[in-house]
Structure 1
C-alpha cells in the first residue's frame, strides 16, 4: 500500500468515527466554457471538467474529472447504453439550461451549481458538488447535495434499520454481522444508491470503500465520499418511485427468471453432516406431508466440518467417509424431484488438497512482495483468498462448479463473499483490497452466471449469495440477510431491510426463516417467521443445528400451522411466478412498500411493519411475542378483503385487527385477480390445466379492472428471449346491462403448455345468477353457483381459445 492510499484509508475511518467533515471544497469553482454534442454537455471549470450525458429522458449521468485525473471508462454496475435522447440547450449569461423531455438541469455559472428539475419542480441540487476532503498526504472525494426538510430517504443496500434512513451516516463496506437483531448499520450487501420521497434517486457509480451521509452530520445535506474510483453519479427521476426503480434497473440490469422450484420450500441447516441424515430428512418431509423442492448442503459435504479440524475448505469434492454415494445422492434426490444445492467459499485453506496447485499457479491474492497472501487468523484456519478478478482463477473456479453441475447439482450457495476477511494489504489483479472489496461478490456471481450462459445456456442457475453490489441482480444472485439472530427483533428487521433492497433492484432478498443465530427454541417465533415467509421471495428455513430449522422436528400443533402455510405457498405459485416475471421485465420488487399504491401519503414512507406482496396482497406480519392485535392502514383507492374471512375494509382507514396463533393478517386489494392452483407436494407437479382465479369485486371501483398471469416451463433460461411463454390476461368491467369478464391468452406458447384450461372463477362480494352470454366458450362446460353465506359466485368453464368472454347478470 502506498503512503498516499494508506493515509486516505486512515483518514476515512477517522472521519467515520468522528462523524465530521473537514471540507476543502472549492468555493471559487468557475465556469470557463462548454461544448455540446448529441447527448452530452462538457463544461470546463477552473478545476476540471464536468460532463452531463442523457441515457434516457429520465436518467442523467454526471461526471467530474479533476485536472490531471481521468475517470475509468467502464462501470461495474451500469449496462445500459445511451438511448439517443433528444436534448435542448439554452445558454444565457448566468446559466446553461440543459433539458430532456422529462428532466431539466440548470447549471448556474456563478457561483457554480447544478439544479435538477422535473417540470417546474426542483427535485434536488448540488451543495458542494464535487469536493475533496484533504489530509496531510491524501484525500477523499465525493459529491454533496441539498435536502428538503421533509424529504425522506431510502436505499443504501442491506441494513437492519428503519425504512426511512435519513439521519444516518452509513459506511459502504460489505461486512457480515453475526447475530444482529433490529439494529445493524453495516451488513454484507452495500449499494451506493439513495432514493427520495421526492421521486428521484441518485446512484453513485463508485465501488471502493466509502460512506453515505444522509443528513447525519449536516441535516440539510446528502453526502457521498470515497477513497477513490470513478467520480460519477446518475440522477434518475420519474413521477413515482415505482417508475424510478424501473429506470434504475434498466440502467444496472434486471434479475433473470429463477427456476420455478426456487419458489418452493427449501430444506437447509448448518448443517447436514452426512448422506444418511439428508435421506432421513427428505423422507420425513414426505411422510409428514410437507412440500419440498430442494436441499442445501453446508460445508460438511466436502469435509469433516469441525472448525480447524479437516474442514477442507477449498477441496470442492465430496468427503466420501460421510457421503459414500456423493453424486449418487444428487441423482437419487433428483429422481424424487428434489434439487441439490452445494455451498462453496472463495477461501482455500493451506491444508486443502488444492492449495499447492492454486498457490503455484498464482490464483490467490498477493501481498506487497507478490507472494500469496495468507490470512493467519481466519475462523476456519490459515487460508488464502482466490483472486476472483483474474481470468486464470475464474477458469479454475468455474471448473470446480462444472464438474458438479455435470453430475446433477442444481444450485450454488456462495458464502463468505464480502469477503468475510479481507486485509487492506491484499492485492488483486484489479486493485487493492479496499478498492475492490465491495465488488468481490458481484464478480463471483458474474463468474457463475456467465459459466452457465456459455455452457448451459438453457438452464436457470440458482445462485444464493450473501454479498453483492449494484447490478448484481442481473447475474441471478439471490441474497439472504445473513446470520440474523433468532429473536423477535431479528424478525422485525426483515421487512424494512427487504423493502429497501427491493427498491435497489434486488428483488429476492430474504431471511433465514425462523432465525439463524443464538436464541432458544421458540415455537411461537418460529411459527410467526414461517407464516411471514410465505409472502416474501424465497422460502428457506435455516439455523444453527442447536435449534432445528425444519418443521418436521416441531410439535404437532406447530407442524399443523406451518404445513398449511407452506401448502398455501405452493397454491400461490401462479401469482408468485407472475411477480418473478414482473421483476424480470420491469425490475419491480416482489415485496413492495405500501407507498407504491399511495405515493403521496408521507406517513407510508415510514411504514416498517406492513407491506405489499405484489400489488394485490397487503401483509401484516405478527412481530411481537404474545401479540393479539395489529394496526393496519389500508391504502386508499380500494376496498380490502380479509384473505381468511372475506370481511371487507375500506381504503384510507386504519383498523385494529385481532390475530390468532394459526393466521397472520393478510388482505387482498379490491379489483384484483389472484390466480392459484390446488395443493402440490413439489413444483414438478405444477400445471395450470386446472386453474383457480379469485376475482375480488369492488363496488366502489369504476372502469376496467385487470390482472395477468405469466406461465412458461419453469426452467428454460431463454424463455422470454425465445418467446416460449404464455401471458394470460384478465379484465372485468361493468357494461350497459351486464358485467363482462374477459380472458385473453398471448399468441406465444411454450412446450407442453396446457391445450386447454378448466377454470374455476371465484367472484368475491358479488351475486350473479345468470350467464347472459358466453363467447368462445363451450357452453356445455359452464356451471354457475352462488354462496350466500360467503357472498361469492363460482363459475367453472373450459378455456380453449385464445380469448374467452363471460357476460353476467
Structure 2
C-alpha cells in the first residue's frame, strides 16, 4: 500500500492500482443525514430515504497514515480515516467526528469498460457495471422484471411481491474488479453499490462503517482465495451426498412408496427430503409447512424406523426448519415464556409476523440463551438426534426494522446480519453433535460472514419457467456471483419452485433443469408450492428415465466433485466458476453468465431457453475443447453451436485434462 499526499488531496495505491483518489475538485467522500422509511410485508420491503443533507468533504489533511476531512478549510473536521496495510491487503478505518452523520458516500476510481462482479448472490446480472444495486436482505420477488405480466400481477396482488433485478436473499457489500482488486464494506447497515458512472464507483452506506477492506492480487484465483479466507470456508461435502440426488417429496407416508418408484427406475439416490416431516397447513398460496420443529407422527407414522431403514439402504433422511415459531404450536409458548422471542417496541409482548394466513414469532438470536436453546433443543435434539442428516434452513430475511432485540441493537442494523446469526445457530447445533462435514443443511439467505457457517447455498424460489430474471438461468448467475465471495457450494430447486397465476412447470423445463443440476454441488428436487398443478419427475416413465440418467451422471462424477470439494477446502475456489477465473487473459469471458466452468476443466453451457434443439456458447481461448457427446475437437476463442437434444446438455472438457478419461466416459450414459 502507498498513501501519497499532495496539495489538499491524496491517493491510495494498492497492488499497483489506484484505489482511492481525492482532491478538492473531485472529493472521494460525502457525508450527510437522512430519515429512512421502511415498509415490510412477508420479506418484501419498500425503502425510501428522506435525504436531509449531503455534503462534499473537499478539504483533506494528511498526517502519516491518517487523513482528516472537512467541507472546506476552516470548517470543522467531520471524518477521520486511518489507513493500514498487510502485504497486498489494506484497511481504511472510519472515525466519525460528528454524531449527526448517518449517511456516507464513498467514491473509488473507475475505468471505462471495467467489469465488476460480486454484490452477494445476484440473480439478474453477473457483471454489475452500469447499474445500481441496493444491498438489503429480502425476498427476491416473483418475476423480478417490471415489464412482465407475472411481476405486475405479483406486485398488484401480493403487496409488491414482484421484485426487481437487484432484490436478493443474499446481498453482500463486496465487489471484485477486473482491475484485480476487491473491496468490502464492514457494516451491516443498508447500503448500495452504484456502478453507473464509468469514472467512479460510488458506495452509499446508511451510517459510518467501521472500515473498508481492500484486497489486491495478481490473479483472480488468488483474489477469490483471499476473500474466502476473510469470510470463512465450508467443510468438505459429505460422502453420502455424492451418491446421487436428494429426492424432495412432501407426501406424508406416501413419500416412501414414491421414493421406491424412483429407485426402481434406476435413479441414483442419496437422500429423501421431506419438508413436511413437521406437518402441513393449507393456504391459498398452496400447502404450507406447520412451523413447529418436531416430528408430526400423524403425517409420518413410524418415522424413526423408516429413517433407520433408509440408512440401511444407504439413503439419508432430510427435513426442514426456519427461525420462526407458529403461534398455534407448542414451541412458541415455550419460547415466549422463556423470553426467547423478538419483542414489539411498544409493548411487552412478542413481535408476531403475518406469513400469509398464519402468524409466527421470531426467535431472538441476539439473546445468547435463545440461540443456544434453538441450537441444542431444536437442531440437536429434535433433528439430529431424531435421525435427520440434513435440512433446508429456510428464511432469514423477514426481521422487521421496528423491533426490540435482547442486545439493544436497532432493527435497521440487525436486519442484514440476521442470516449470519441464523446460519451460526444451525452450525452450532451441528458442531455440538460432532456432525460438521457430515450433516448437510442448506440456506438461501445470507450476508457477510455466513460463509463460515452455511455448508451449502441454494438459490431460493425461482419461477417454474425460462424467464430471464426469475427462471432457470438465474441460478447460474447466482452460483457465479456468490462463488467469487467464498461460497464454494451452490445448487437449486430442480425444476424451480414458484408457480403462481398461469406459470406452470412443464416437462421441457423439468428436463432442462436436471441436465444443469447434474453438474452442480448437490442435486435436489422440489415439488414446488403447488405440487399437484406442476410436472413432477415421477409423472411419466419417460421423464423419470431422463431424470435417472442425469442422476447417474452426477454420481459417476463423484471422484471429480470430491476433488473440487477438497480444492474448495484448501483454496476457497468454488465448484462452479466463471470462465474468466481460469482464462483471465481472454476478455471475452468476463461478462458471460450463461455458462460456467465446473472446476477448471469442464465447461457447462446449459440450455436455458424453451424450444431449443441446439445451443451456442463461447469457448475460452488458449486451449482446445472436446465436445463430450460427439468427441469433436473445437479450438478455443470462438463461439460454437452444437446439437442439444434432451439428455445432451452442451458440455466440453479441456483437451489434455488429467480427467479426460472420466469426462469422455459421460457419453456412455
In the superposition, the TM-score normalised over structure 1's length comes to: 0.69
Task: Provide closer, same or farther for how the CA distance between residues 319 and 229 of structure 1 changes in structure 2, counting only shifts above 3 A.
Answer: farther
Per-residue deviation at 1:375? 2.7
> CA 1:294–1:373 in structure 2 vs 1: closer, same or farther (change >3 Å)?
same
User: Residues 3-42 of structure 1: matches in 2 within 5 Å?
Assistant: 8-10=35-37, 23-31=54-62, 33-34=63-64, 41-42=65-66
Encode CA deviations 1:201-223: one digit per residue, 9 max, x unaligned. Answer: 101111122222122xx443212
Q: Which residue number in structure 2 is paired with residue 91 of structure 1?
A: none
Tell me, yes or no, if the aligned pair for 1:192 and 1:470 is still in contact at 8 Å: yes
Match of 1:464 in 2: 442
Per-residue deviation at 1:16?
A: 7.0
Q: SS of the counterpart of 1:618?
A: strand
Which residue number corresponds to residue 60 of structure 1?
90
Secondary structure of 2:511 counterpart = helix
Assess, with a 3 A threshold, how the Cα gap between structure 1 residues 484 and 368 changes in structure 2: closer, same or farther: same
Provide the C-alpha distance between the structure 2 equivalents of 1:263 and 1:320, rounded to a whole number of angstroms: 30
CA deviations on 1:339-381 (whole Å, 9 max, x unpaired) are 1111112111222212222112110112224623333533252
Which residue of structure 1 lines up, in the alignment, with residue 115 of structure 2? 152
Q: Cα 1:202–1:51, aligned 2, differ >3 Å: closer, same or farther?
A: same
Q: Retained in 2: the 8 A contact 1:426–1:433? A: yes
Tell me if structure 1 keeps the 8 A contact 2:594–2:605. yes
C-alpha distance 364-336 of structure 1, shift in aligned 2 (>3 A):
same
Partner of 1:384: 361
Q: Do the aligned partners of 1:314 and 1:354 also contact (CA within 8 Å) in 2?
A: no
Alignment correspondent of 2:371: 394
Distance 1:376 1:633, change over 3 A: closer
| 2:439 is the alignment partner of 1:408 | no
Does structure 2 conserve the Cα–Cα contact (< 8 Å) formed by 1:8 and 1:138? Answer: no
C-alpha distance in 2 between matches for 1:18 and 1:459: 43
Could you tell me which residue of structure 1 aligns to residue 532 of structure 2?
Answer: 546
In the other structure, the counterpart of 2:82 is 51
- TM-score of the pair, normalised by structure 2: 0.83
Q: Which residue of 2 aligns with 1:303?
A: 279
Output one character per residue of 1:409-466: Cα deviation in whole Å (capped at 9) or x when no partner.
Answer: 11121112113x5243443526122211111111111122123324315653312111
Shift of 1:30: 2.2
The RMSD of aligned alpha carbons is 3.0
Task: Decide whether the 8 Å contact of 1:498 with 1:509 is kept in 2.
Answer: yes
In structure 1, the gaps of 5 or more residues are: 35-40, 70-136, 676-692, 697-761, 765-789, 791-809
Contact kept, 8 Å, 2:136 with 2:416, in 1: the verdict is yes
Question: What's the CA shift for 1:181?
Answer: 6.0
Q: Which residue of 2 aligns with 1:246?
A: 225
1:418 aligns with 2:397: yes
Post-superposition Cα deviations, 1:271-308, rounded to whole Å, max 9, x if no partner, equal 6141x21211221111111111112222x322342249
2:501 corresponds to 1:517: no
Q: Deviations over 1:372-410 (max 9, x none)?
A: 333353325222111012111012101112113123211
Structure 1 match to 2:73: none
The yes-or-no answer on 1:201 pairing with 2:182 is: yes
Offset at 1:600?
2.5
CA distance in 1, matches of 2:364, 2:603: 44
Cα distance in 2 between the residues matched to 1:457 and 1:595: 36
CA contact (8 A) 1:344 1:413 kept: yes
| Structure-2 residue corresponding to 1:759 | none
Deviations 1:647-669 (A, max 9, x none): 11112232222222231111110
Alignment of 1:666-745 (within 5 A): 666-674=651-659, 693-694=661-662
Using the alignment, how far apart are the partners of 1:162 and 1:625 within structure 2?
20
Q: Residue 214 of structure 2 aligns with which residue?
A: 235
In structure 2, C-alpha distance between the alignment counterparts of 1:647 and 1:6, rounded to whole Å: 62
Q: CA deviation at 1:570?
A: 0.5
Q: Give the distance between the partners of 1:328 and 1:358, measured in 2 at CA.
A: 30
Contact 1:173 1:209 in 2 (8 A): yes
Q: Is the 8 A contact 2:595 2:606 kept in 1?
A: yes
Matched, 1:533 2:517: yes
Q: Deviations over 1:303-334 (max 9, x none)?
A: 34224999784532212222221323322222
Distance in 2 separating the partners of 1:549 and 1:461:
30
Q: Deviation per CA, 1:634-655, whole angstroms, max 9, x where unpaired?
A: 2122111111221111122322
* Count of aligned pairs: 596
Displacement, 1:541?
1.9
Aligned residue number for residue 499 of structure 1: 480
The 10-residue stretch of structure 1 (288-297 or 652-661) with the greater mean CA deviation from structure 2: 652-661
Query: Cα gap change, 1:459/1:18 in structure 2, threshold over 3 Å: closer, same or farther?
Result: closer
CA radius of gyration, larger in: 1
Question: What CA distance in whole angstroms lies between the structure 1 residues aligned with 2:511 and 2:609?
Answer: 12
Q: Aligned partners of 2:89 and 2:427: how far apart in 1?
A: 27
Distance 2:213 2:403 in 1: 31
| Counterpart pick for 2:454 among 467, 470, 476 | 476
Post-superposition shift, 1:548? 5.4
Give the direction of change, closer, same or farther, for the CA distance of 1:476–1:15 in structure 2 (3 Å limit).
Answer: closer
CA shift in 2, pair 1:9/1:268, >3 Å:
farther
Q: Deviations over 1:479-504 (max 9, x none)?
A: 21111001112012222221111111
Q: 1:196–1:643: structure 2 CA closer, same or farther, 3 Å change rule?
A: same
Per the alignment, do residues 22 and 617 of structure 1 end up closer, same or farther by CA in structure 2, a change over 3 Å counting? Answer: farther
Which of these residues, 408, 417, 420, is aligned with residue 442 of structure 1?
420
Cα 1:498/1:166, change in 2 over 3 Å: same
Distance in 2 between the 1:601 and 1:12 partners?
A: 45
Judging changes above 3 Å, is the alpha-carbon distance between structure 1 residues 323 and 607 closer, same or farther for their aligned structure 2 residues?
same
